[in-house]
Every structure is written in structure tokens, then in C-alpha cells.
Amino acid sequence: MKYPYTFIFTVLAVSALFLSSCKEEKKLPIYGLRDTETVKNADGSTTVDTIYQTIPAFKLLNQDSTYITNAQFKGKIYIADFFFTSCTSICPQMHRNLKTIYDQFQDNPEVMFLSHTIDFKYDKPSVLKKYAQKLGVDGPKWQFVYGPKETIYTMAEKNYLVAVQADSTNRDGYVHQGYLVLIDKDRRIRGAYDGTDAAQVAQLTKDIPVLLAEDKK
């Protein structure tokens, strides 16, 4: 399978590591597509604003069989990923690593987690609930969500820039990238980290406070 965004996010991850390690750099980069908009000011002058790609509104079922929307994440930063509960390859390691971050920020109300299952056949809310409990997660801070194939797969590839695919030739039936995608309070992508790479997971842990600090300046 060819991953259209593999090279892009590899470059982004390396760039994020470099930028975050630079002492002069106080803000994380903004990733994704962007456009410009000419705005007319009150005095008749014009300025050009940059319009960044954002995560669109969504409505998905969570592990408690309750619909959640982007409203639950208003005023929060969050880490998003794509997985499936029966995955035997990268998912277990990816979520063990993400759980360490969850534990560190469990008491911070400004940080949330959002895991989307790509198994539209099996991973119904009751299955996600058991998965969350086995992982040691309880409460609304970490949402595990299920939705129609077209909805989830479009969100993954078009909005979060993560490649996912149903694959009957794969022993698990699905293939996907293991990126942990950092989203800011304006729903913009601020980083992507390989969830199976200890160094990148550690960098994500360091970048979360940097992103939180932006709103306090």
C-alpha cells in the first residue's frame, strides 16, 4: 500500500523535533493546507490573513454509546489517532505510549484525547468500552469513537492527514499509520508524532506544554 502522506508527515515530524529543540522557538508550527484572504480594514487599507486548514465539525458515537461532537473539545487541545481494537501490529504499542501521556496530563482539563476506530464492522461502542477499560482509561478525557467508514476514513486522510485503509490481504484486515496528531484550540494541526517511536512520543510530551502556553501569552 502506498501512503500518500507518509513522506509529508516524516518531514513534519523531523521539522517539529528541530523547531521544538530550538530555544528561540516559542511556538509550534501550523501544518496542513492554507489559503489567504484579503481583509478590508476600517481605515480603507487592506491586510492579507492566512486561513489554515482546520478539523471540521463531527458527530460520532463514543465508548458510552453517546454522540459526541467537536463541542466537547472547544477550548481544549487534543491528541488524535486512528486505530482498531483487534490490531496486532502497531496499535498496542501506540496506545501504551499514548496512555503514558494521558497519565501525565490526566489532571489538566485543557488536554483531551480522541481515538477513532477504523474497524467499521466490529468496533461498536461496547467493544470500544471494553478496550478503554482494559487500557485503564475511564471518564470523558479520552474519547474512543466509532462512525461510518466513509466518515472516519475521510476525516483521517483529508483532515488529519493520516492514511488508513481496509485491506483484505492483511492478517488484521486493515492498515494505517500510527501518528499521534496534536490539535490546538483553533482545531489546527500543530504536530504529528510516530506513536511507536519513543523519541517522538517524548517530543509530543514536551510540545503539549508549549502549545498550552501559547494561549497564556
Res. 133 pLDDT band, cuts 50 70 90: very high
**Choice between 25 and 119, residue whose per-residue pLDDT is larger:** 119
**pLDDT over 70, % of the chain:** 88
Res. 35 pLDDT band, cuts 50 70 90: confident
SS3 content of the chain, % helix, strand, coil (to 5): 35, 25, 40
Average pLDDT over residues 153-167: 96
Q: Does domain 6-28+55-214 have CATH number 3.40.30.10?
A: yes
Cell readout for 33 is 493546507
On the question of pLDDT at 3 being above 50, the answer is no
Amino acid at 143: Q
Res. 38 pLDDT band, cuts 50 70 90: confident
CA distances from 141 to 12, 96, 110, 111, 124 (A): 27, 16, 10, 8, 19
Cell readout for 215 is 494561549
Note the pLDDT of residue 16: 47
Query: What are the residue ranges spanned by the domains of the chain?
Result: 6-28+55-214
On the question of pLDDT at 217 being above 80, the answer is no
Q: How far apart are CA 162 and CA 148, in angstroms?
A: 17
CA distances from 123 to 126, 128, 167 (A): 8, 6, 16
**Choice between 215 and 205, residue whose per-residue pLDDT is larger:** 205
**Choice between 26 and 64, residue whose per-residue pLDDT is larger:** 64
Give the side-chain half-sphere CA count within 13 A for 212. Answer: 15
Condensed to tens digits (0 to 9), the pLDDT of residues 90-106 reads 999 999 999 999 999 99
Condensed to tens digits (0 to 9), the pLDDT of residues 107-119 reads 999 999 999 999 9
**Choice between 24 and 208, residue whose per-residue pLDDT is larger:** 208
